[in-house]
Structure 1
Amino acid sequence: MIKISKLINNDEKQTITNSILRELPEWFGIEEAIVEYVNGVKNTDYYVAYDSNTAIGFISIKSNNSYTSEIYVIGVKKEYHNGGIGKMLLETSQQVLINSKGKFLMVKTLGESHPDKHYKNTRRFYNKLGFYPLEEIKEIWGEENPCLIMVKSLSDGYNC
C-alpha cells in the first residue's frame, strides 16, 4: 500500500531527491541540475510516496508568493511510472495549498518546441491533471532547452 507523508528533515529530503533523480536520466541527465535540485529542496514543502518503508517518489513545492506556488521538482521511480503515484503526490500537495488559500500552482518543464519524447509525456501528465501551457521562454534554460511554464488554478471561483 502506498502512503504519502510530509517530510521535514532536510537531510532526508536531499537523500531521497538525489537517489530518485539519479534513477531518471531521461529527465534529469544534467549533473548541475541534479545538484541544484538536491540543494534546493531544503527550502520547500516536501512530500514522499512510500511503498512499505521505501521512498518511491517525491514532490517538492516552492512558494513564490501568497497566491502562487510552484512544483520545484517531482520524481517517481521508473518502475512506478503510470501507477498513479505522481497524481497522488500532486493531489496531496494541492490540498495543502488549497487549505492555505493558495490560488495557483505552476510548473516549469521542457517546452513543446523541443522534440524530447519523455518530456512530451511529462507535459501530457501535467495537462491531464489540469495544468495548461502559459508561455514558452528561452531565457531561463537557454535556446537549446526552452522552458514551458504551465499553470493550474486551485480555486473554482473568484473571491474578492
Structure 2
Amino acid sequence: MEIRLVEDAKEKSMITEKVLRQLPHWFGQEEPLVKYVNTVYKYPFYAAFVDNEAVGFISIKDNNQYTAEIYVMGILEGHHRRGIGKGLLQRAEEGIKDKAYKYLMVKTVGESSPDLYYARTRKYYEGVGFYPLEELKDLWDEQNPCLILVKNL
C-alpha cells in the first residue's frame, strides 16, 4: 500500500466518486455523494493505492484555527481492516501538524441509529482515538442523527 497526497482537483473528484459509489451502505444517497465529489477538490486529500489502484482516501477541512475536520473518508469495503484507514488518518494528521490544530473532528451517523454499517464506522473512529462529543438529531434528519466525534491532537 502507498499513501500519496493528491493535489489535482479532477483526480480528487474521480477517486472520491469511484470509492463512494462502491460504498452504498454508507454513501447511498445521491445528493450528498455528488456534493462530496464536487467539493472535495477544495481540501487536502490523501489517497491509498494498492497495485496503483486507489482503494481509499481521506480529505481534511479547515474549520477554524483550532479544529480540522475529516470532510469525507472512504475505503473500499474489500480493503477494510487492513490498516488503510489508520494509515490515511496518520498521513492526514502529519499533513496538518504545521497548522497547530488542537482537535480533529468527524461527523458520522450517531448511536441512536440502528444502522450496523455506521456502528462499524463509530467503532473504527473510537479505535483510532476519537471520542463522542454530541449527537445532533436535527442536523441531517431523524434517520441520520449526526454524531460529532473529536480527537485531541
Which band: TM-score by shorter chain? over 0.9
Q: What displacement does 1:99 show?
A: 3.2
Structure 1: which amino acid aligns with 2:84?
Answer: I
Q: What percentage of residue pairs aligned between the two structures are identical?
A: 51
1:118 aligns with 117
Q: What displacement does 1:39 show?
A: 1.0
Distance 2:41 2:3 in 1: 18
Distance 1:115 1:7 in 2: 35
2:100 aligns with 101
After TM superposition, which residue ranges in structure 1, 4 or more long, deviate above 3 angstroms?
none
Number of residue pairs the alignment of both structures matches: 153
1:54 aligns with 53
Distance 2:8 2:95 in 1: 18
Distance 1:137 1:83 in 2: 31
Structure 2: which amino acid aligns with 1:17?
Answer: T
Q: Which consecutive unaligned segments of at least 5 residues does structure 2 have?
A: none
Q: What displacement does 1:100 show?
A: 2.6
SS across alignment from 2:139: coil
2:127 aligns with 128
1:144 aligns with 143
**What whole-Å deviation, never above 9, does each CA across 1:15-49 have from its counterpart, x for those lacking one?**
00001000000101000011011012011110000
Q: What displacement does 1:139 show?
A: 2.2
Structure 1: which amino acid aligns with 2:107?
Answer: K
User: Alpha carbon RMSD of aligned pairs, Å?
Assistant: 0.8
> Is the deviation greater in 136-145 or in 16-25?
136-145
Structure 1: which amino acid aligns with 2:138?
Answer: E
Query: TM-score, normalization: structure 2?
Result: 0.97
Q: What displacement does 1:101 show?
A: 1.1
1:37 aligns with 36
**What whole-Å deviation, never above 9, does each CA across 1:112-150 have from its counterpart, x for those lacking one?**
000000100100000000000000002210122100000
1:9 aligns with 8
More helix by share: 2
1:69 aligns with 68
